[in-house]
Structure 1
Amino acid sequence: MEVDKELPSPIEFRLDPGSGVPTYLQLVQQVEQALRLGYLKQGDQLPRVKDVVAGLAINPNTVLKAYRELEHRGLASGRRGQGTFVDGALPMVGLREQEALRRDLLRWMRTATAAGLDEEGIVALVSSALHDLHAENEEVVA
């Protein structure tokens, strides 16, 4: 009789205690990013609550809250006795296009660093540019 072995989840969570973002939202954001980048797909199992708790030394209720939020967003669902699985999808760019964009972004980041921006400065500039892009898109829609 063959024992059903559990496959490891394709995602491993990490926390940034200095980000100011609540822990459960950091987990939610990481799942969303993994979906957008193609690291996670429908049917993939998320890490078991006990494994996340052990790996990150956080309260199990925090992980459960994150998984409930993912369920609320239509991105995951729990299966009694089996774990939590990816159910939904988010828009993503093809891997070839993604890699080209990543190369361009790295080139831009090197230029920004050479111009004197540190990591926080780069994040601030990108955030500002994203804000402007959203404002432009809202004007087009209105």
Structure 2
Amino acid sequence: MHHSCSSLVLWGLAVVAFDFRIDRRGGIPAYVQIIQQVQQALRLGLLEPGDRLPTARAVVEATALNPNTVLKAYRELESQGLVETRRRHGTFVTGTLGASSADSPWHAELADVAARARASGLERDDLAALFADVLEDLYSSKEPDVVSPQP
């Protein structure tokens, strides 16, 4: 999942420039991709409470999605308690998700795996697809595998 995010402050209001990347060939509904990308940005600290999401109109213009698709994603994010829509003002981040710490042993281990994959010539999107496949296999099974990161 690729996205870019930057923020600036205008008139005391945090405005976030956030680009949604929609994969129309992946089989994941576009509204789900929007939800997942907002959730990921929250986990990574790229979005924080008070940040304003792009307007539905801006997302439609940038992605050529149906406006109802974008609105469906925003409504779902609101039902999850992650955003709040304020009439005539926009949609604002109100919730957070557990951030993964950069000093976590899991972060270090995943960074090592990613570095080795890159050194072997694996492209970013290929690694992301491979990791998504591994996660799907792991989390779709009924019995969780217990693995601890190496210290």
TM-score bucket of the superposed structures, by smaller chain: 0.7 to 0.9
Kindly tell me the number of residue pairs found equivalent between the two proteins.
Answer: 132
Residues 1-142 of structure 1 correspond to what in structure 2 (within 5 A)? 4=11, 8-97=15-104, 100-110=108-118, 119=127, 121=130, 123-131=132-140, 135-136=144-145
Higher RCO, Cα 8 Å, sep 6+: 1
Which segments of 5 or more consecutive residues in structure 2 lack a partner in the other structure? Answer: 1-9, 147-151
The structure richer in helix per residue is 1
Quote the Cα distance in structure 1 between the aligned partners of 2:82 and 2:41: 12
**SS of aligned partner of 1:78:** strand
| Cα distance change on mapping 1:74 and 1:112 into 2, 3 Å | farther
TM-score, normalised to structure 1's length? 0.75
TM-score, normalised relative to structure 2 = 0.71
1:11, 1:34 within 8 Å by CA — same for their partners in 2?
no
**Which 5+ residue runs of structure 1 have no aligned equivalent?**
138-142
Q: Does the 8 Å CA contact 1:76/1:87 hold for their aligned counterparts? A: yes
- Seen in structure 2, the aligned counterparts of structure 1 residues 130 and 108 have a Cα distance that, compared at 3 Å, is farther
Give the direction of change, closer, same or farther, for the CA distance of 1:7–1:50 in structure 2 (3 Å limit). farther
Q: Distance in 1 between matches of 2:84 and 2:143?
A: 31
CA RMSD for the aligned pairs?
3.1
Shift of 1:45: 0.7
Q: Distance in 2 between matches of 1:71 and 1:39?
A: 18
Distance in 1, Cα, partners of 2:142 & 2:17 = 32
Higher share of residues assigned strand: 2
Aligned mates of 2:71, 2:65 — CA distance in 1: 11
The residue identity in structure 1 corresponding to 2:145 is: E
